[in-house]
Amino acid sequence: MGIKGLLPLFLCISLLSASTSWAAEIRGRSSTQFLWFNNDFYSGRQVELAEYLRLSITDIDKAGKFSIHGYGRGTQDLNNGEGLNGRLYYLYGDYRGIYDKVDLKLGRQFVNLSAGSAIIDGGQVDLRNIGPVGFTVFGGRDVVFGLDGELGHGGDYALGMSAYLVRVRKTDLDVSWFRKWDAGDVSRDILGASFKQYLLDSVKLYSNVRYDVTSEVFNEVLAGVKYFPSAKLVFTGEWYQSYPTFDTTSIYSVFAVNRYQEGVFRVDYSINEKVAVNAGYSRQEYGEDGTANVYEVGCRLRPLESVTVGLAYDRRQGYDGKLNGGMFDATWNLTKDLQLAGGLTVDAYRRDFFPSTSGEQIAQKYWVGSRYQLAKNMNASVRVEENVNNTYNSDFQGRFIFNYDF
């Protein structure tokens, strides 16, 4: 939905809230942003003015069960002729507690299951309070955004459903199914599940699985365990596998891909209120192409009550080259309302896969920022950064943001 459709919808919300002003409560945030950055499509700098608006209208009815939620964006290009553009991310009515068992959402909304997620123009129904299992069903037109607006056409739909455990202490489990159509043809058909289990107040087990029915392959698998013997110390171990699959209607679905696997071990330790450290190791496997090892160490320091400093170092060696990188960032709460921040990142890397980038390359990023609380419901922030790398001799970009909460 472009800017022409976005504005009337928000106007309808305003009229509705005005007509029910005896009960309705309106809350939200207006975020006005001024941005400048390099536009690769125009080989030059682009300057934009953007407005993000998020709002919720509650207590519309006397029982307080019906509410309306919306979030959209409008942008105006100021120098490259792209003009005015808009996106409506969601705008839906939410009616909860029908017979104390059913929640209903109608309109444009973001839907998310363990099997997949989408933005749809349609409806979602949640069935609960019927025992230890709850159910969710949604369906509608699949909304896809491009650079200049929506890309969808007739026959684009999304449908999903899930069953999940409720009120089971220390256990979360859901299984779901998600399907998408592209111009009437099935483009995605996914089964999914997610699981969390807490044991002995010090162990968390978790996993996520997605199975692509059309490709007959597990395209994502994650299994992990966290062990926290104390509030200050956390051990994490994870195994992740990804086998990329594409929409059946996409040209990329005919290309061969490699299975990717990664094993991770990480330790986070808060020594005291002033010092926290972390370290990690990852083993990456790229099918038959090779493997890589990644090592990471870092710390977070508070030398003063108002100052926080972060330091990190990572080293990667193996498939497609090597990398040594470091990061530094700092924040300083100069006053109760004013915060200053800055940082830099430097990576020295060699990429063996692309002969044109053979030899060691250096990528650098420097940034500074500030945030000021103008009032309880108003704040302003600014951030500017400079990137110097193999692609850009200078990629200077930044943004200014003014937020108003109402």
Q: Please give the backbone phi and psi of residue 41, each rounded to the nearest 5 degrees, phi first.
A: -75, -25
Count the Cβ atoms, other than its own, within 10 Å of residue 304: 11
Checking if the pLDDT of 8 tops 50, the result is: no
CA–CA separation, 70 and 56 (whole Å): 7
Integer angstrom CA distances of residue 150 from 85, 118, 143, 232:
11, 14, 7, 47
Under a CB-based contact definition with an 8 Å cutoff, are residues 219 and 208 in contact? no
165/15: higher pLDDT: 165
Using one digit for the tens of pLDDT, what is the confidence trace for 185-208? Answer: 999 999 999 999 999 999 999 999
State the pLDDT at residue 105. 97
Q: How confident is the model at residue 6 (pLDDT cuts 50, 70, 90)?
A: very low
Alpha-carbon separation of residue 95 from 104, 119, 133 (angstroms): 5, 19, 21
The partner residues of 54 in beta bridges, in order of sequence, read 29, 71
Q: Which residues contact 162 (CB under 8 A, 6 or more apart)?
A: 113, 114, 115, 135, 136, 174, 175, 176, 177
- Give the start-to-end residue ranges of the domains of the chain: 99-257
* Burial status of residue 293 (CB atoms within 10 A of its CB: 0-12, 13-18, 19 or more): middle
> Per residue in 30-60, is it b (16+ CB within 10 Å) or e — as a string?
eeebebbebbeeeeeebebebebbbbebbbb
Mean pLDDT of the region 344-367: 82
CB 154 within 8 A of CB 215: no
Non-local (6+) Cβ contacts of 355 within 8 A are none
Find the angle CA(93)-CA(94)-CA(98) to the nearest 5 degrees: 130
* Residue 23, pLDDT above cutoff 80: no
Residue 318's alpha-carbon distances to 76, 241, 284, 291, 356, in angstroms, are 45, 18, 9, 6, 19
- Mean pLDDT calculated for residue range 158-166: 97
Q: Which of 15-29, 48-62, 183-197, 326-340 has the lowest mean pLDDT?
A: 15-29
User: 381-396: per-residue pLDDT in tens?
Assistant: 999 999 998 877 888 9
- Architecture of the domain spanning 99-257: Beta Barrel (2.40)
Query: Is residue 30 scored above 70 in pLDDT?
Result: yes
Residue 93 has pLDDT above 60, yes or no: yes
* Mean local confidence (pLDDT), 274-293: 95
Average pLDDT over residues 115-127: 97
Contact 344, 328 (CB under 8 A): yes
pLDDT of the residue at 355: 56
Average confidence (pLDDT) over 224-246 = 96
Assign 2 to helix, strand or coil: coil
What percentage of the chain exceeds 90 in pLDDT?
Answer: 75
Q: What pLDDT does 253 receive?
A: 83
402 vs 39, more confident = 402
- pLDDT for the residue numbered 45: 83
Q: What's the pLDDT at 2?
A: 47
* CA angle, residues 311, 313, 315, in degrees to nearest 5: 175
Question: How high is the mean pLDDT of the chain?
Answer: 91
pLDDT classification of 89: cutoffs 50, 70, 90 = very high
Torsion of CA 112, 117, 123, 126, to 10 degrees: -30
Query: Helix or strand or coil: residue 245?
Result: coil
Give the chain's largest Cα–Cα span.
69
pLDDT at 243 over 70: yes
For residue 19, pLDDT beyond 80: no
How high is the pLDDT of residue 22? 53
Say whether pLDDT at 31 is over 90: yes
Is it the case that residue 132 has pLDDT exceeding 80?
A: yes
* pLDDT at residue 238 greater than cutoff 70: yes
Mean pLDDT of 306-316: 97
Residue with the two structure tokens 């998408």? 180
